[in-house]
Amino acid sequence: MGNSIKWETELNAALARAKSEQKPVLMDFFNPG
Amino acid sequence: MSSFISESVVPLRLPYDHKPLSEQFQVKWTPTLITLDADGKEHHRTVGFLPPEELIPSLLLGRAKLDFDLDDFESAIKILEKIVSDHSKSDSAPEAIYLLGVSRYKSTHEAKPLKDAYEKLQAEYPDSEWTKRAYPYRLL
């Protein structure tokens, strides 16, 4: 997916944002090659 | 695409061998995309590449399934209607029609939405697995 997306890299930080922003978390497991 | 993701979800990217999360979520192949609620509970998963025209409806379906699982049928119905109207050619559309029928049934306790879902699936997606799953509803 696009590099302009600001990805979280820690689950707890993403869940905290999800709670405050009332959004789901999209967790993307990828192969960095 | 980037703006849709940034506006609609909190994106979290992890390497496939992340410890302990890859084991916790039993990730076996990439890309694996998982929709979580704010408590970390999984509601939707896809494995393998999705082109942009499939990714957006799949993300919407993930949000709708999250709302459905949390009994927020009103929100689920709005999102599912958007998938059906705006992404009717996507692979997510048949599942959205099925879940829309179930969500409407759960919010009204009337059987007609289930039969409507079957009839729409049979007419527009006769070969879909979701048409098979809705088959019993033809008798309602």
In this predicted model, what pLDDT tens digit does every residue of A3-32 receive, in sequence order? Answer: 588 999 999 999 999 999 999 999 999 998
Q: Chain A neighbours among B 37-56 (CB < 8 Å)? A: 37-40, 43, 55
CATH architecture of B2-139: Alpha Horseshoe (1.25)
Q: Which residues of A touch B79 (CB under 8 A)?
A: none
The Cα B22–Cα B40 span in angstroms is 14
The Cα B33–Cα B77 span in angstroms is 23
Residue A3's pLDDT is what?
57
The Cα B112–Cα B118 span in angstroms is 10
Q: Is B61 on the interface with A (CB under 8 A)?
A: no
The Cα B5–Cα B11 span in angstroms is 7
Residue A32's pLDDT is what?
83
Q: What is the mean pLDDT of residues B23-46?
A: 98
In this predicted model, what pLDDT tens digit does every residue of B44-98 receive, in sequence order? Answer: 999 999 999 999 999 999 999 999 999 999 999 999 999 999 999 999 999 999 9
The Cα B121–Cα B34 span in angstroms is 26
* Interface contact flag, A26 B35, Cβ < 8 Å: yes
* Interface contact flag, B63 A24, Cβ < 8 Å: yes
Is A33's pLDDT higher than 90?
no
Q: Which residues of A touch B11 (CB under 8 A)?
A: 1, 5-8, 14, 25-26, 28
**Domains in chain B: boundaries:** 2-139
The Cα A12–Cα B55 span in angstroms is 25
Residue B96's pLDDT is what?
98
The Cα A1–Cα B46 span in angstroms is 14
Count, residues in chain B? 140
In this predicted model, what pLDDT tens digit does every residue of B108-120 receive, in sequence order? Answer: 999 999 999 999 9
Q: What is the mean pLDDT of residues B118-128?
A: 98
Residue B135's pLDDT is what?
98
- Give the helix/strand (H/E) hosting B56: helix B52-69
* Interface contact flag, A7 B34, Cβ < 8 Å: no
| ipTM for the assembly | 0.92
Cα end-to-end distance, chain B, whole Å: 40
Count of CB contacts below 8 A, A vs B?
A: 117
